[in-house]
Chains A and B, each alone.
Chain A
Amino acid sequence: MLLSAATSVSLQAQGNSVLSVAPPEKLNVKRGASAEVRLKAQLQPGFHVNSNAPADEFLIPLKLTWANQPLQSEQVSYPKPQFEKYAFSPKPVSVFSGNFEIATRFKAPPNANPGLGVMTGKLRFQACNSKECLPPRTIDVRFSVELQ
Chain B
Amino acid sequence: MTKPIHLAPLCAAIAAFLLWTACANHSVKADGSVKPEGTRKPAPEFTLKDANGQTVHLSDYKGKVVLLDFWATWCGPCKIEIPWFMEFEQQLKDRGFAVVGVSMDEDGWNVVKPYIQQYKVNYRILLGNDQVGEIYGGVESLPTTFIIDRAGKIASVHIGLSGKDEFKNAITQLLDAPRTASIAPLGGNFGFITSPR
B142 within 8 A of A: yes
Q: Which of B17, B27, B77 contacts A133 (CB 8 A)?
A: B77
Interface string of A4-15 (1 = CB under 8 A from B): 011001100111
Q: Which B residue sits closest to A10, measured CB to CB?
A: B24
Q: Does B152 touch A at the CB level, under 8 Å?
A: no
Q: Mark A22-66, 1 if CB is under 8 A from B, else 0.
A: 000000000000000000000000000000000000111000000
| Interface-facing stretch out of A73-81, A86-94, A96-104 | A86-94
- How distant is the Cα of A87 from the Cα of B27 in the complex, in angstroms? 27
One digit per residue, 1 when the CB lies within 8 angstroms of any chain A CB and 0 when it does not, for chain B 77-121 equals 111100000000000000000000000101000010001000000
A15 in contact with B17 given A60-B74, A131-B160, A133-B74 (CB within 8 Å): no
Which of chain B's residues have a CB closer than 8 A to the CB of A136? 74, 106
Report whether A88 and B74 are in contact in the complex, using a CB–CB cutoff of 8 Å.
no
Q: Could you tell me if A128 and B160 are in contact, using CB atoms closer than 8 angstroms?
A: no
> With A13-B25, A132-B159 given, is the CB distance from A88 to B140 under 8 Å?
no
Check if A58 sits within 8 Å of B73, measured CB to CB: yes
Interface string of B118-159 (1 = CB under 8 A from A): 000000000000000000000011110000000000000001
Partner of A13, one of B27, B76, B79: B27
Q: Please, which residue of chain A has its CB at the minimum distance from the CB of B27?
A: A13
B155 to chain A, nearest CB (A): 21
In this complex, how many residues of chain A approach chain B with their Cβ under 8 Å: the count is: 25
Chain A residues whose CB sits within 8 angstroms of the CB of B77 once the complex forms: 88, 128, 130-133
Given A2-B17, A6-B20, A9-B24, also A132-B74 (CB < 8 A): no
A14 to B28, CA, bound (A): 12
Is A132 within 8 A of B141, CB to CB?
yes
Residue of B nearest to A48 (CB): B76
Residue in B72, B75, B76, B79 with the greatest tally of chain A CB atoms within 10 Å: B76
Chain A residues packing against B (C-beta within 8 Å): 2, 5-6, 9-10, 13-15, 58-60, 86-89, 93, 126, 128, 130-136
B residues sitting closer than 8 Å to A (CB atoms) are: 13, 17, 20-21, 24-25, 27, 72-80, 104, 106, 111, 115, 140-143, 159-161
Q: Name 10 extra pairs, CB < 8 A, besides A59-B74, A133-B72.
A: A6-B21, A15-B141, A58-B73, A58-B111, A130-B77, A131-B160, A133-B76, A133-B142, A135-B72, A136-B74
**11 A-B pairs in the complex with CB atoms less than 8 angstroms apart:** A6-B17, A10-B24, A13-B21, A13-B24, A15-B140, A88-B76, A88-B78, A132-B77, A132-B142, A134-B141, A135-B104
